[in-house]
Chain A
Amino acid sequence: MNSANHNILQIKDLKKYFPIRKGFFQRVAAWVKAVDGVDLEIEEGKTLGLVGESGCGKSTVARMILKLLEPDEGNIIFRDQDISRFSEKDMKPIRKEIQIVFQDPYGSLNPRMTVGQSIEEGLRILGIPRGEKRRGRLEKLLKTVGMSPDSADRYPHEFSGGQRQRIGIARALSVEPSLVICDEPISALDVSIQAQILNLLKDLQDQLGLSYLFISHDLNVVGYLCNKVSVMYKGNIMEYAPTEKLYEHPFHPYTQTLLAAIPEPEPGRKQAAITMREDIPISAPPPPGCALQGRCPHEAPECRDEKMPFVKVGEDHFVRCWRVGQNGVARYEP
């Protein structure tokens, strides 16, 4: 992928393996390849969607970007600095720049801290002294996310899920980050509230020029919000493209299946047939080659040998599939 410097974040060949330990001596019996060579890039002021099914490693990627997990291999380049080997101390100024909004607005706020205390923690670390100035900043933040300033003295249990998610967003914004990782920020919310939070995220991006990494399993939401999309499956990025291209001309059989499976809120619409086989949990280590083997309807012998490189099939459009030709022509019958 091109390394143009308008990228706020670029990830190259990121890997994280978790050991499975067995027996009395906790010998490492196998490795789970949670993230197995992931490349991502997020443009300044834009939104990258990271989609995939549960367990595909999307949240592990998020945690590595924040350095909540140490990557095993690969580079995380934030504004021309490779932060992948940064120490805690080196990370401190970077943490201010990269913030996260979590999925569960119930679990991610401390129930014994007032909303104000939760949000102020960031301001305190920034070195803004207690008093008028900090209070003013706090009230401004609450207003930005559409909450009344007097919510600062109340506790999380007094708020609904949607309001708590607003508080979570205010907390992330308190240190004035430039990149916000949104890890399934609306999937725990009611349908009528989801739109409120999506609108808020959009407004904030326009006002503050934020860049987002938007992690989701919901292709309707990603198609609505994101500029570009990376599709992840079992620790690998299978396809990366601008949203329009990905939805109009998906190359990868996995992307095609995901898109066909979207339940569209439109009656009478014929659902495309899903030809992909169901995933069966196996205890044996996965075979080499494509992560999708065993499920893919277009599988060929070459898919079982070696992991496919990420191939360019069009402008900004990359696919990891042996059966897709170099020139953007699918070699199998789609």
Chain B
Amino acid sequence: MNHQNTLLSVNNLKVYFRSDDTLARAVDGVSYEIRREETVCLVGESGCGKTVSALSILGLIPQPPGEIAGGSILFNGQELLGLGDEDLQKIRGNQIAMVFQEPLTSLNPVFTIGDQIGEAINIHENIAEAEVNARCIQLLTDVGIPSPAERMSAYPHELSGGQRQRVMIAMALACNPDLVIADEPTTALDVTVQSQILKLLRSIQKERAMSILYITHDLGVVANIADRVYVMYAGVIAEQGSTENIFRQSQHPYTQGLLASLPTRSKRGQRLHSIPGTVPSAAYKPPGCPFHPRCPHAITRCREEYPGMCDYGGGHLARCPVMFKNDQWCK
């Protein structure tokens, strides 16, 4: 299924967390791929495994309690799972960089932002300090920080939330990565700032011809930024396809339910569609299709058998054989 332009492919990844008497299958056989120069959104509710799957790409899952129970992660053809810390360090921040949700806690309060951006460059490249400085200033300019040369000596608390997130993005871009993983980078920000950061990410992605893996729970943001979308539910991919596929031709009852339950002004006065029940915990997932207890279309077989992905063509797949017209149980 690999596209010729594939930059990163995650295949049947399983990440489990073990405690005394339970096994939480946070990521339970997830496959996705990111091609060069595209923005892929991983969307799902809290606890669906989207962040865990992204952290395992960079080897950031603490083991124990976590364990990679299977699968593979290929980046530029190289297997990342099982790579030693030293080898991973060469990739982290260099070829794959990450932007986290909360810029205030991910920046070090006692170092200037110049120091922190420079650190990433110094780790991966051996260049003179003046050159590092010049590059930092250029990066700050690129992410739209006003008067960047003066801002180099500012501390994180002197910046607004939006500017801090811009600094985080500058840090991620420091070594010209091929892939940036952005984990809910705008969730902690106000809407006006969010829309500016999204705009920045879009323009940087084009200019630098890089790929973005964007993790979010906000379907509004997805529609705004994604080329392709993977919808996750309870540790598995429920549906995948182009943004158009997901928003206009969704085939999985979960995706359909999510879209129908979004409050918008056009639904004023109407009752919102709501998905009954709650998200199952990773430790106690129902057998068969994990969505069946909440699904309006569930049949007996959904309770017993784990459904396969049904192919709607053009890269649009949904893990729901009941909705599939061909009357066959997809494997």
Contact = CB atoms under 8 A, between A and B. Distances in A.
Contacts of A257: 192
A261 interface: yes
Contacts of A190: 45-46, 217, 279
A221 B268 CA distance: 10
- Tell which of B158, B195, B198, B221 has the most Cβ of chain A within 10 Å: B195
B129 to A, nearest CB: 28
Contacts of B243: 267
A54 B248 CA distance: 33
B244 A278 contact: no
A243 interface: yes
Contacts of B193: 278
B141 interface: no
B32 to A, nearest CB: 19
A261 B261 contact: no
B195 A53 contact: no
A286 to B, nearest CB: 15
Given A194-B261, A271-B224, A278 B194 contact: no
Contacts of A281: 158-160
B26 to A, nearest CB: 16
B191 A258 contact: yes
A54 B236 CA distance: 34
A199 B276 CA distance: 12
A278 B244 CA distance: 32
A193 B294 CA distance: 12
Nearest to B246: A267
Q: How large is the interface on B (under 10, 10 to 19, 20 to 34, 35 or more residues)?
A: 35 or more
B90 interface: no
B267 A224 contact: yes
Contact of B263 (A53, A221, A269): A221
Contact of B219 (A191, A221, A271): A191
A62 B196 CA distance: 30
Interface in B125-161: 158-160
- Tell which of A192, A202, A262 has the most Cβ of chain B within 10 Å: A192
A225 B294 CA distance: 25
Residues of B contacting A: mostly: helix
B248 A274 contact: no
B165 to A, nearest CB: 11
A45 B221 CA distance: 34
B261 A195 contact: yes
A265 interface: yes
Given A261-B194, A267-B243, A278-B163, A192 B275 contact: yes
Given A247-B265, A271-B195, A276-B192, A263 B278 contact: no
Interface string B178-220: 0000000000001111111011000000000000000001111
Contact of B278 (A160, A195, A262): A160
Contacts of A196: 274-276
Interface in B270-291: 271-276, 278-279
B190 A54 contact: yes
Nearest to A186: B263
Nearest to B229: A267
Given A217-B190, A267-B248, A281-B158, A192 B274 contact: yes
A272 B199 CA distance: 11
Contacts of B324: none
Contact of A199 (B224, B268, B271): B271
B205 to A, nearest CB: 15
A150 interface: no
Contacts of A220: 220, 262-265
Contacts of B265: 220, 223-224, 243, 247
Nearest to A224: B263
Contacts of A160: 278-279
Interface string A260-288: 11111111110100101011110000000
A162 B162 CA distance: 30
Interface in A25-51: none
B258 interface: yes
A213 B274 CA distance: 23
Contacts of B162: 278-279
Given A196-B274, A199-B274, A274-B196, A262 B191 contact: yes
Given A247-B265, A281-B158, A192 B279 contact: yes
Nearest to B190: A53
Nearest to B218: A263
A95 B267 CA distance: 34
Nearest to A266: B223
A274 B195 contact: yes
B258 A192 contact: yes
A292 to B, nearest CB: 11
Interface in B235-277: 243-244, 247-248, 257-259, 261-265, 267-268, 271-276
Given A191-B261, A199-B272, 7 more contacts: A192-B45, A194-B263, A195-B274, A243-B268, A264-B220, A265-B219, A280-B163
11 contacts: A191-B262, A195-B261, A199-B271, A223-B263, A223-B264, A261-B191, A261-B192, A263-B194, A264-B224, A267-B243, A281-B159
